Amino acid sequence: MIYHKSVLLDESIEALAIKPDGIYVDATYGGGGHARAILERLKEGRLVAFDQDEEAIRNKIDDPRLIMVHNNFRYLRNLLKLHKLYPVDGILADLGISSYQIDQAERGFSTRFEGILDMRMDRRKHRTAKDIVNQYTEDRLAFLFKTFGEIRNGARLASLIIKARKEKPIETTAGLKEISRTCAERGKENKFFAQVFQALRIEVNQEMDSLKEFLKQASLALKPTGRLVIISYHSLEDKLVKNFFRSGNVDGELQKDFYGNVLNPLKVISRKAIVPTGDEIAENSRARSARLRVAERIG
């Protein structure tokens, strides 16, 4: 089974600057593409891989150097300490959802397939996208569409959802698309649907809060000169990563000590985001929005 084609694979592995005897983290295991490439470069080293999706856990590479952790990467620091593998030499996170998740209609991630509005990456959790569209207030829906979907007319969409759910519950991806269609610019419906689904997916999985927690913990979990490599796919993620790398905090505000020295444990390695080549995008269209950034723990 081809679970997922890893984006920016060579670039991200090179950015990790892997030591054969080092300890590394794949914070978003997915189909194991990045993990497999890391293991190929290790000898006595170890790899700790995180994923909250049971499908990814079942896809575990059979390698004694690999430790799988079925949990969200927001708990990175404590779980590394639990496994007595703290601190580490490098951390990689690919923030995109996997092709396998998108292509499973019953998961509700894709705008291309009809399925139940689920969108949970961790199906042990209870709240789904269906719960959100049927239970959130109009103001709360408008906020998440504007904030997480970057939808200008999010308030109008929220109003239409409230009106529609009074008639019957909104339960499927097709049902949500039908409601959303009238808000989309003609000829750009698919892009609009993608923004709507993105907003709901981020809310269901609390992705921005998880990313903030992960960034704070990752910067502390690195050894001096250890690398933090992150691939993001939309402007909300990329802005957060860029600001954290430059300032050392999620607010993006430079903090200084008494002597005027910037209080940031990280040094930016990639001044500009690394993007996929034209050939990679042609081979894998889902790579087109990827942005890779690299930082290093200051010794």
- The answer, yes or no, to whether residue 1 has pLDDT greater than 70, is no
On whether residue 121 sits in a domain, the answer given is yes
Q: How many CB atoms lie within 10 A of CB 90?
A: 27
Q: How does pLDDT run across 187-206, given as a tens digit for each residue?
A: 999 999 999 999 999 999 99
- The answer, yes or no, to whether residue 163 has pLDDT greater than 90, is yes
Model pLDDT, residue 204: 97
- The answer, yes or no, to whether residue 174 has pLDDT greater than 70, is yes
Residues 183, 134 share a domain: yes
Total domain count, the chain: 2
- Which H/E stretch holds residue 12? helix 9-16
CB 34 within 8 Å of CB 90: no
The better pLDDT of the pair 179, 107 is held by 179
Model pLDDT, residue 257: 82
Report the predicted TM-score, pTM, of the whole model to 2 decimal places: 0.92
Among residues 157, 186, 205, the one where a domain terminates is 205
Among residues 176, 205, 234, the one where a domain terminates is 205
Among residues 136, 170, 205, the one where a domain terminates is 205
51-55, 86-90, 245-249 — which one is most confidently predicted on average?
Answer: 86-90
Q: How does pLDDT run across 90-137, given as a tens digit for each residue?
A: 999 999 876 666 666 667 677 777 899 999 999 899 999 999 999 999
On whether residue 35 sits in a domain, the answer given is yes
Residues 222, 90 share a domain: yes
Distance CA 236, CA 167 (A): 34
On whether residue 1 sits in a domain, the answer given is no
Distance CA 161, CA 296 (A): 45
- The answer, yes or no, to whether residue 295 has pLDDT greater than 70, is yes
- What CATH number is attached to the domain comprising 24? 3.40.50.150
Whose structure tokens read 């923030």? 95
Model pLDDT, residue 4: 53
Domain range holding 118?
A: 103-205
Question: In the Cβ-directed half-sphere of 38, how many Cα atoms lie within 13 Å?
Answer: 34
Residues 196, 154 share a domain: yes
Residues 269, 128 share a domain: no
Beta strand pairing call for 222-232 and 291-297: antiparallel
Residues 212, 197 share a domain: no
Long-range contacts of 85-88 (CB under 8 A, 24+ apart): 85/23, 85/46, 85/48, 86/221, 87/23, 87/220, 87/221, 87/222, 87/223, 87/226, 88/22, 88/23, 88/24, 88/25, 88/48, 88/221, 88/222, 88/223, 88/226
The mean per-residue pLDDT over the stretch 6-35 comes to 96
Distance CA 146, CA 153 (A): 8
* Structure tokens given for 244: 């954290």
Query: To the nearest whole number, what is the mean pLDDT of the chain?
Result: 93
The mean per-residue pLDDT over the stretch 16-37 comes to 97
On whether residue 4 sits in a domain, the answer given is no
What values do phi and psi take at 23, rounded to 5? Answer: -110, 125
Model pLDDT, residue 106: 66
The better pLDDT of the pair 157, 3 is held by 157
- What CATH number is attached to the domain comprising 172? 1.10.150.170
Q: How does pLDDT run across 56-84, given as a tens digit for each residue?
A: 899 999 999 999 999 999 999 999 999 99
The mean per-residue pLDDT over the stretch 275-296 comes to 94
Model pLDDT, residue 285: 86
Model pLDDT, residue 105: 60
